[in-house]
Amino acid sequence: MALTGIQIYKLLPQTNCKECSYPTCLAFAMKLAAKQAELSACPYVTEEAKKQLAESSAPPIRLVTLKSAGGEVKAGNETVLFRHEKTFYNKPGLFIKVKASEGAAAIQARVAEIDAFKVGYVGIDLSVDGFAVEADGGDFAAAVKAVRAGTKRPLILVGKDVAVLDAGLAALAGEAPMVHGADASNWEAMTDLAKKHAASLVITGDNLETIADLTEKVKARGLEDIAIDLKAAGMGAHLGLSTQVRRLALKNFRSLGHPLVAFASGSGGRDAVYAAHAIAKYAGFVVLDRFAPELLYPLLVLRQNIYTDPQKPIQVQPGIYEINHPKAESPVLVTTNFSITYFSVANEVEGSGLPAWLLVCDAEGMSVLTAWAAGKFDAERIAKSVKGSDIAGKVAKKRLVLPGHVAVLSGELEAELPDWEIRVGPREAVDLPAFMKQAL
């Protein structure tokens, strides 16, 4: 059972040293009990106390990691029901399913094509995380080898026949794959198989009581890395069960404190809706039946947005960026280091074909108006960025273009940079090309 805040407090050093970033040991204990702090933040807790506090300090959802030569996919360690309460930590892995019946040659070619898929989004390269191989009657071992020949990404092996799965897992020596298919009829053999190959195991069941019972049996047999596949009739029922599992896990019901696996299927775009629902509520691994760029790209962007820490905006490195090979006569545009703001400006200017220098100021990842309102984007900071860079030595005509939303800074900036011509640009990035052609 999880300990209460008072019980945790009794095991802490009670020095109120504040080195954990909390004012008192009691405040820290209450955060530990609420799963909103890590025990490692206390530098003076004893080893004996650590052992007693292990249950309370452990995240309510166990971390499960799939590993291969091509990287790893992690799911679990989540501590909240809603992202704005704190943050979500490990974004769900997106896997594409292939079937053994497709044949080794076709599988290898398709997997290699999917493996090469990559799209850029606010400076981040997005791609699939792995593949699921289904044993549907074909040569399963050959199918797994074909997938491995086309990609090095982590794998999920799906099937019910232990002997068939064993043959496939033999081709993944040294990796940490996932095995799907344990239920009330085969859990013992599947558990032994997963232990033999250092794999995690997916448990399925008709209801939460059955799943909770199976997870305890599997753990008693010596396997802790477990995931859950909820079988529900329709997305509404699946949403209800997913939410119920997360709520129970956060209340320290350890039998359900495991990542969820979701299989997104259906025609007419239904698979896209199902996958989006699974990403938001609360899958750790999402398996798609098909691959299509128009299906995958919005799911990757959705996942990136949901699993971005709301307290830490995506940022780009402050500094000078060259767009369209600028010359000494080209203007200097100013913006903040919030990634969406940067890419909005950079993409519009680049698309216009007009050369420009882009000065990105450190505004702690905030957009222009937000940073200005917070005092993180003012004349002094902009002037410091100009003086701290070598832009003055690169331009013959010193023209600095401010975002239109902060036109009020122009006077102050002229005082800070008396040898520069300060211009006020448009409010929206989309209007920059026309402004540059007509006014610069």
Structural domain count, the chain = 3
Tokens, residue 374: 């917070």
Could you read off the pLDDT of 312-347 as tens digits, one per residue?
778 899 999 999 999 999 999 999 999 989 999 999
Q: Which amino acid is at 231?
A: K
Clarify whether residues 143 and 287 are in a common domain: yes
Evaluate whether residue 432 is within a structural domain: yes
Q: What are phi and psi of 143, to 5 degrees?
A: -65, -45
Tokens, residue 249: 């896990």
Residue 1: what pLDDT?
Answer: 52
Residue of 73, 92, 72 whose CA lies nearest to 307: 92
Residue 268 has what DSSP assignment?
T
Own/partner long-range contacts of 416-424 (Cβ < 8 Å, ≥24 apart): 416/379, 416/380, 416/382, 416/383, 417/383, 417/386, 420/386, 421/397, 423/331, 423/399
Could you read off the pLDDT of 190-230 as tens digits, one per residue?
999 999 999 999 999 989 999 999 999 999 999 999 999 99
Tokens, residue 271: 């698979």
- Scanning the structure block, which residue is given the tokens 């289904």? 134
Q: What is the CATH number of the domain that holds 49?
A: 1.10.15.40
Residue 33: what pLDDT?
Answer: 80
Evaluate whether residue 314 is within a structural domain: no
Residue 137 near residue 159, CB atoms below 8 Å: no
How far is 242 from 280, CA to CA, in rounded Å? 10
Residue 122: what pLDDT?
Answer: 78
Residue of 181, 118, 128 whose CA lies nearest to 154: 128
How far is 37 from 357, CA to CA, in rounded Å? 43
H or E element at residue 68: strand 64-68
Clarify whether residues 262 and 365 are in a common domain: no
Evaluate whether residue 10 is within a structural domain: yes
Clarify whether residues 25 and 166 are in a common domain: no
Indicate the residue among 264, 284, 306 that finishes a domain: 306
Q: Which amino acid is at 321?
A: Y
Clarify whether residues 288 and 354 are in a common domain: no
Residue 288 vs residues 2, 148, 271, 383, 425: alpha-carbon distances, Å: 37, 18, 7, 50, 45
How far is 61 from 76, CA to CA, in rounded Å? 5
Clarify whether residues 377 and 292 are in a common domain: no
Clarify whether residues 141 and 260 are in a common domain: yes
Q: Which parts of the chain have pLDDT scores under 70?
A: 1-2, 35, 55-57
Indicate the residue among 57, 74, 97 that finishes a domain: 57
- Scanning the structure block, which residue is given the tokens 């920059």? 432
Could you read off the pLDDT of 267-285 as tens digits, one per residue?
888 999 999 999 999 999 9
Tokens, residue 44: 């003076």
Residue 405 near residue 428, CB atoms below 8 Å: no
Beta strands in 315-368 (DSSP E): 319-323, 332-336, 356-361
Residue 370: what pLDDT?
Answer: 94
Clarify whether residues 223 and 79 are in a common domain: yes
Evaluate whether residue 340 is within a structural domain: yes
Residue 390: what pLDDT?
Answer: 87
Clarify whether residues 283 and 352 are in a common domain: no
Clarify whether residues 285 and 323 are in a common domain: no
Q: Which residues pair with 226 in a beta bridge?
A: 201
- In which domain, by residue range, is 20 found? 5-57
Q: What is the CATH number of the domain that holds 424?
A: 3.40.50.11600
What pTM does this model have?
Answer: 0.80
How far is 349 from 432, CA to CA, in rounded Å? 7
Clarify whether residues 333 and 296 are in a common domain: no
Residue 293: what pLDDT?
Answer: 95
Q: What is the DSSP string of 142-184?
A: HHHHHHHHH--S-EEEE-S-HHHHHHHHGGGTT-B-EEEEE-T
How far is 61 from 250, CA to CA, in rounded Å? 8
